[in-house]
Amino acid sequence: MAKLTAEQRIERTHVQLMRDKNFCLFSGVFMIGKVIISDKVDTARTDGRNVEYGRAFVDSISDKQLAFLVIHEAMHKAYRHMMVWKNIAKENARLANMAMDYVINLQIQDYDPQRTTVEMPKDYSGKPLGLIDEKYRGMDTMQVYQILKKECTGGGGKGGDKGKGDGQPDNSSDGRGEPYEFDEHDWEGASDLSEEDEQELGKEIDHALREGAILAGKMKGNVPRGIEELLHPKVDWKEALRDFVKAHTKGLDESTWRRPNRRYLGVDIIMPSTIGFKAERISIGTDTSGSIGGEILGRFLGEAKLICDDVEPEIIDMMYWDTHVARHEIYAGAEVSNFVNSTKPAGGGGTDPDCVPNFLLKKGIKPQCIVMLTDGVFFCHETTKWDELGVPVLWCVVGNNEFKPKVGQAVCVE
């Protein structure tokens, strides 16, 4: 049987990893950018989009070791390392490279602890060719980098000015027999990406990971915590709530020439002043099926009051719902500023969020926006009544990252 070329081996490795439940998450990431086999690269390197493999190195390692190398490069891409950490690379490229490798090599080991699919490449004496140390478990690249800086003497060692890893053992220079990073990091190539290119690449990677997560779910594989955080970035729910309400209650100001803008009178320019109008009506729907505790409700209502103080709605509808709207409170005018102290939660049965738009339609109420507080766990949720009402909706979801609303947008409340 003829020996496979480096190109053929990498292509076969991609296919094998796509079929593996532990690594299929990265299937789409493999397809981003070009795969280049080069005689000028010692081991492997990436610029964040493309990956170059050294032909001689690929030919020298086993199939499991090649799989480890391929996953290693894919994870650099998935975590957007060449974009996220370019600032610390300018400070000390080699330590930045080492920090990134310490983080992802531990993760690869955890994906396949029995080494059934991947195994870290080794040198001629059997020592690992990659950086791995349990003391860095649970840390991110910046945390590892800061530790390496403190431990570093003499300016960070060889390679700091080159913008890549050594690619060769450095045991003789440090005297401690430590392993060395087996891949390079093409910071120069990464710096050629424009801001628009980086944004486009980020979207491409995000889409690939989301598709990979779906495949991993079907194959009963796991999505690592670090990738979960990429797919579900933490958003300050309070800021998101403020932005949502303001975005959907703005546009109520008018300009008038009857009262000149005083800011421009001193320079003999006549400009119109703005007459502000209060927001009209905001509806708040709170899930009282039993899953929303008093502490969460108190925080939510406190934040809602601050927003109302800011946008000054003329009317607030406070609705407590389970399978129906158990209580509807209307606050108008001066009552709005004190609604938190006056409200009385009610309900506690099942959970049917569609009762909120149904209730508003029956009452002939059409607010400028609706804010729903819920855990996102219910048996039915249709779009018919929401579409008929035609009002922007923000779901403030307590502790449920998996909730995907059929209408409106969602933000996770921790």
pLDDT tens, residue by residue, 354-385: 999 999 999 999 999 999 988 888 777 888 99
CATH number of 237-413: 3.40.50
329 pLDDT higher than 90: yes
Q: What is the pTM assigned to this prediction?
A: 0.57
64: pLDDT confidence band, cut at 50, 70 and 90? very high
Do residues 407 and 387 make contact, with C-beta atoms less than 8 angstroms apart?
yes
Which of 150-159, 256-265, 308-317 has the highest average model confidence (pLDDT)?
Answer: 308-317
Task: Identify the helix (H) or strand (E) that includes residue 37.
Answer: strand 35-38
* Nearest-angstrom CA–CA distance, 50 and 331: 58
* Nearest Cα residue to 108 out of 170, 149, 61, 66: 66
Do residues 187 and 89 make contact, with C-beta atoms less than 8 angstroms apart?
yes
Side-chain-side CA neighbours of 369 within 13 Å: the count stands at 22
190 pLDDT higher than 90: no
* Nearest-angstrom CA–CA distance, 15 and 31: 11
* Nearest Cα residue to 82 out of 166, 181, 143, 164: 164
Show the CA angle centred on residue 56, arms to residues 50 and 62, nearest 5°. Answer: 90
Do residues 345 and 288 make contact, with C-beta atoms less than 8 angstroms apart?
yes
In the prediction, which pLDDT does 170 show? 37
Query: 177-181: long-range contacts (C-beta < 8 A, 24 or more apart)?
Result: 177/127, 178/131, 179/127, 179/128, 179/129, 179/130, 179/131, 179/132, 180/129, 180/131, 181/97, 181/98, 181/101, 181/130, 181/131
- Domains of the chain, by residue range, sit at 6-223, 237-413
* Nearest Cα residue to 355 out of 316, 331, 319, 391: 319
Backbone angles phi, psi at 256, to 5 degrees: -140, 140
240 vs 136, more confident: 136
- The pLDDT of 100-111, averaged and rounded, is 93
Q: How many C-beta atoms lie closer than 10 Å to residue 237's C-beta?
A: 20
Do residues 37 and 7 make contact, with C-beta atoms less than 8 angstroms apart?
yes
* Nearest-angstrom CA–CA distance, 368 and 129: 60
The residues facing 36 across adjacent strands are 52
Expressed in percent and rounded to 5, the helix, strand and coil fractions of the chain are: 45, 15, 40
* Nearest-angstrom CA–CA distance, 230 and 80: 10
In the prediction, which pLDDT does 291 show? 59
- Residue holding tokens 């009857």? 258
- The pLDDT of 288-294, averaged and rounded, is 67
270: pLDDT confidence band, cut at 50, 70 and 90? low
* Nearest-angstrom CA–CA distance, 398 and 232: 14
67 pLDDT higher than 50: yes
* Nearest Cα residue to 356 out of 279, 280, 303, 287: 287
Backbone angles phi, psi at 168, to 5 degrees: -140, 150
- The pLDDT of 141-165, averaged and rounded, is 65
At 25, is the secondary structure helix, strand, or coil? helix
Spatial CB neighbours of 254, under 8 Å, sequence gap ≥ 6: 274, 275, 277
Q: Classify the phi-psi angles of 309: left when phi > 0, otherwise alpha if psi is within -120 to 50, otherwise beta.
A: alpha
Which of 62-71, 116-125, 370-379 has the highest average model confidence (pLDDT)?
Answer: 62-71
Distances (CA, A) of 242 to 37, 304, 394, 398, 409: 51, 8, 11, 17, 14
DSSP secondary-structure letter at 412? E
